[in-house]
Every structure is written in structure tokens, then in C-alpha cells.
Structure 1
Amino acid sequence: GEIKQVIEQTLGIPWVNTIAADRHGDALYADITATPNVSAQKLKDCAPSAPAAALAASARIYVLDGARSACDWDAPGLMPGATMPAMIRTDYVANSNDSYWLANAKAPMAAFSPLVGPAAIPQNLRTRSGIIEIDRRLAGEDGLAGNTFDIEKVKTMLFWNRNLAADLYLDDALKVCEASPTVTTTAGKTVDIKAACAVLAKWDRRMDNESVGAHVFVEFWRLAQKIPNLYVTPFDPADPVHTPRGLKTDGETATKLRAAMAGAVEVLESQKTPLDAPYGSIHFAVRGDQKIPVHGGEGGDGVLNAQQARWNAQASGYVPYHGSSYIQVVSFDAKGPVADAVLSYSQSADPASPHFADQTWLYSKKGWHRLPFSKADIAKDGAGPVLVL
């Protein structure tokens, strides 16, 4: 509870979540940050206009009427730390760039002011993926030994590169493909989706460098997830990890799913990207004249190892621009911390430096660097020259 007490008292964390564990097996989650002390009711009552109020739902931007003193922030100005979301558990806490609500899916938190974050709403697929992986590990159902975590198991889980959207929805999408392998677009063009569906049927549903079909699914799901009333079972706040689920595969929804597959085929054809290209051959980091395969995928698709990428016509590939960067896994032995890490984008921006691309290659191969901690290990590691600023 010491960390929780300190952040409650100082409110020194501007916006990020805090997660910590101690030697006794207690795990802390806290979203205790410098946040205006304004209730949900005041946010609603003090919106100066209908357009201002609409920003809350559309962009989580809140506007208060500055002409009314009743709309001032409540004393003491910032929300007291002791009243903000926090929990200490002995099983787990987690967060994957979502709100505080499901830090532990077995104990969803009560709603706080919307300024802290939303509750009881659909979670992003990365949040759901993280909780599913944790539950499988604790149940001993993920194919790894035992039912606890250690440094090697965590590293494996981080780089499994499972695509939860594919695990949940691809089988339904393939049924739609099989029913009608050609699509006539709104522009009157006939698109054959049979080859794309065949590639997806054989895909391992991972975002590994060797995976064949990953990029086809990314382009398909980018379009398909926007279809209204898509799911057989809609979101249920009582089952937020496993809903929504199931794609509707009949009627207008089936037509739109086939259109999404046709759209993916057209995108890939326009880029001259083969449907059966290994993922790492078209999803890479550019370092000088090197194209370094990058595993991982869209966080919105439920890939824990998130790598957001854009098509780069000059490089003829998808080039990541945001996602897993500094990755660290820490455990403790009798001597102290044991930390393995990798910096996916490498440490130097100087093309002449030996560290311009070395860790990007290490990341590409799912490698790790053991960080020195003791004075002896630091000396053995060979510190570089002292840089005086």
C-alpha cells in the first residue's frame, strides 16, 4: 500500500496507469492522476451548448460554462487521490490502454467521473485478449507448463502474436466466403474473393513474420468491423470479456462482409501486395537500405504485441509507426532484479552507429537483452564513454 499512499498524496502522475507488485504477492492497479474534480452530473449540467455536450460522447472532450460560478471545479480543485480508481489483488491486475473498469475482470470497478474514464462499455480487443491470456495461464490451459507466471512464460505470451479478432470472427467470415466467392462492388466491378478466403483459411491467425495471410485479415477487418449490427451476441456489461461475439452470416450483413473482403482484395491489388506474402516480407521497419521484418499487429485487432502500421508506397510495405517500443520483463532472485528487455526501434538515430538497427533486428528475431543491475554486471557489460551535456 506504500505506492498507493504516495500517489494519492502527491497526485504527481499526470495521466498514466500505475501497476506494481510486491514480494508478498499483492498487485496494485491505480488510475490516480491529476484530474479535475468535476462530477458526472456537473459535466452534464454545465455544458454551455448542445454541440459542446456532444463532444463528450464523440471525443471525450468536456466543456464547462465559464460564465457560471456554479460550474467551477469542486474543491480542492483536483480530484482527491483517495477517491480515484485503485485496487490491490492477489490474483492479477492488468490494463491494455483501456479505462480502469476491468483492471480485474472478476471485480469490475464502479463508475467514477467520466473525466477518469468510462465504465460498462465495450472494451477494446487488446484488453479482452490480455484478460483471456491471463485467465488461460492461471487455469493452465494455454499450452505452457503449470499455471503460474515466470519471466520466460511472460516473454512467450508477449510475443505469441495471437490475433483475437481472427480467433473470434474469422470462422464466421469464411462461411460467408464459401457461400458466394464473387462480389459485385457498388462501382459495378466483379471481384473474386475465393483466393483471399483460401489464404485466410490456412493462416495460423498469428502476426508472426512467417505468417501467411495476416495482412489480408488486417485489411478485411479494417472494413468489416465498421458494419452496423454486426454481432450475433451484442455487448453485455455482465460478460465484457466475451462479448460482443459471433458475426451474423446471413442477409444484409453477409453481403457487407463479402464487400469488406472484396475491399481488402482491391486494396492489396492496388498495392501489388501478394495475398500469400509472408507477413514479415511486407511488414517491416526501414533502417537505411535494410527492411527489417516486424512481428506484432494492430492493437485494435486484439494483438497484445501492438504494432500500428501504414502502407508506405515508396518502401512497398507496411511500416510501423506506433506500438511496442521499450519492452521489459522483470523478475527477482536472491541477488535482486533480473530484467530482460528490447528496444524495438533501436537506440541510435545515427546510421553510422552500430546501434542504429541492432535491437530492431533483435526484436525481429524475438530476442532479448539481459540488463545489467549490479556494479559487477555493469562493469562487465562495458559502459560507453561518458557524455557530458
Structure 2
Amino acid sequence: MSTAAIHAGWRADDMHGALTPPVYSSSAYAHEDHASLKDLFARRSAGFAYSRSGNPTTAVLEERAAALEGGAGAIAVASGQAATTIALCALLEPGSHVVASQLLYGGTTEFLDDTLADLAVTSTTVDPWDLEAWERAITPATRAVVVESVANPGAQLVDLAAISSIAHAHDVPVVVDATLASPALYRPGEHGADVVVHSATKYLCGHGTTIAGLIVDTGRFDPRRCPERWRRLTSPNRRFGVTFADEYDRGCSGLLAYARAKYVTDFGATLPAASAQQILVGIETLDLRMRKISADAAALAARLHGSVGTARVEHPTIPGRPDAHLADRDFPHGTGGVFALDLDGGEDAAAAFCDALELFTLAVNIGDARSLVCHPATTTHCHLEESQRRACGVGPGTVRLSIGLENVEDLWADLERGLAAARAVSGAAEPEQAVARRG
């Protein structure tokens, strides 16, 4: 992992021997003759013509992402939301059906319920820990199963191998949002996933500077196994004059080729070269960052568990969690730095908690080097129905924490300050040891 994070996709072979990939800040690329540009547009050769569909810097990021995930290829796009949108659009058509975990990021749930519904795609959400529910939800029209490797905001884990086995028995590909784990902690392809998406904005970047997304084909999906289900890939494409499934004979991903040619180009979801380079720089320290962040998050969750004024802490290491065995089995290096806690006193206590923090920053992002906090019910999940928020573990007193790289004792002191403010609102008694420390 550490070696690939530094070397994959770049060999210092440009004309100057640059050690890090340069930013190719060009909208278009010159060609020596008419025939070469014609062949490129006819998909008879590889290369770059116009940066809306590809750029040398983003190509390095794509190769590195595929290497980190052990995949067959990758596409870099403008955001994590664009990655989810394009990956699903490439698999779906009007009349299709999606089965999704009810523990999803709010933006993904909104996309399934609203935008895809506008496109005549239906969806069913299920409890990710109820394997029989996954089986019951799949229909002949199902064309994708969608889960998160680590759920946002409650850090719930899924038995991806079991879910993938169910989906594959029905010839349905599995799409996994692996943002919160990152490939440093978990590679979904090793557990059955067909497509992996990332908001590279988060841990892959690691410093809160850049918006980006990634789609990785793990190499498991081949539409030729059920050609009638994937006619847009297995039949000649009228617009492009090729059959995208033929890419598999050349060792490439036909799914990604189709997604890039049609959806990245048509949606204009282009990742700028400078953004790609920022993600590449972040990836170089991914392994080191994720191990510290995971360890510190687990330590802080343990201290928060049972604290006066805290109704519940949602972290896989907390006693009684039904996914604890999955953490032990599938996440030997930790489960990342994002988890949630429910405060007694509802939104008023949550607001007091957030406003009292001095080291944690109130912001709707995760995966930064800085520790962040937000109130999901009024921010990231505010457009969901109340029943949907409850289903994904978001209540009025829920606070999401994203642990950064600061000293863990400094972070704990800040959390104690927030807990004291929340208790003052909820009327819970303050622990005597906290009073003594402050005195």
C-alpha cells in the first residue's frame, strides 16, 4: 500500500525527470496529423484530445487509484457525488431498480430517491445487517446493489462478502462507497465488490484542499456473462460506433470506457489537472495518516462511551455493536476516523456541544487533517424525511466527529469542554473528576 501510494502511475519519465507528476494545465492537445486525431475520436487509439474527457495528470491519479484498490482501471471525476452518479448511470436505464443500504450518506439517498426517480429508476432500502432483506429486495429489474464500506455518520460496517454473494447469485453488480475506509484500511474488491467509488476529497486528499471523486472497476464485472441485461455495453453503440464490451478482450474495462465516453463527457464532470495533483500528493501519506487517525478515533470513542450526557456512541469498537466481529475480521488496521455520538438533550445539547469546541472545527467535511464536527440532522441529512434519518441513525442529538491528526489528549480536552456545555443544556450532572480538573 505505501509503495503503490508513492510510485503507482508515475515513473519520472517526462522530459525533465520530474519526481512528482506535473500539472498538465492544457485544455487541448496537439496532434501531428489528421489520421492520428481521427483514430483517437474513433476509439482506435489511446491518447488525449481535449481535457474534458482526459488529462495526463488525471491519468496518473487513475492508474494510482486502480493500483491501490487492486482494480482493473479507474476514472477520476469532479467530486464524490459525480463518482456515484456516473457509476450508477453507467449501470442503469429507465425501468431499472436499485437495492441500497439504509445507512448511506444523505446526498446518496437523495440522489436515489429524487434524481434517479425522475429518470424512472426505482430503489429499495434495506437494513444492511439483515441478509434475508437483501435477498427479498432484489427483483428481475435490479441492476445494482449499493452499500458503504463504513457508513456515514455512524461508522456501521457491512458483511460485504455475504451481500456480494447474494447479489451475484442474481447477476447484480455491487457498488461500494469506500470513502470512509479508504484503500489503506479496506479494499472492497477483495470482499466481492464490482465497482468502488470514493469521494477523494476526504482521506485520499487528506488536507481539505480539493474536491474530487474516483470510480474503480475491480475487474469482477463482465457484462458479457448476461448480455441481455447490459445491452448498452454488449451491443454496438450507435453514437460511438463501437461495442464497449469489446474492451474486455483488450484487458480494459468496458464499463469505465462507456462511463467516460458518455457520462463524464456529457455531464462535464471533469477533474482539473491541479486537483488531480493535489489528490496524488495526499495519497502519498494515506497509509500513515489512516493508522493514526483510526487508533485515535477508537481511543476517543472508548472515552466518550458512558460519559454523562452521552446517550450512545456509534463506533465499531463499542461493546454491543452487532458489527464488532466485522471490525475484527475485515478491518485489522482500524475503521477510520468518522463516528457519531448521540447527546441527551437533543438539538439544543448538540448545538451547545458544537459551539463550545475550540479545537474541532464546525464544518461539513470529513477526512481532513483537522478534526471536524457537524450536526447531521440540520446539515448533511437535513433534506431527508425524518423516517429516513432515523433509519440511518441520525437523530436530533446526533453529532458527527471526524478525527484528524492533532494530539489525542488535546482532542479529548476539547471534547470534555463540549460535553460540559451539552450537560449544562440537558441538565445532566457533571462528573466530579471533570469538576476537579477544571478547578
Q: TM bucket by the smaller chain?
A: under 0.3
TM-score normalised by L of structure 2? 0.25
Structure ID, larger Rg: 1
TM-score normalised by L of structure 1? 0.27
Give the structure with the higher percent helix: 2
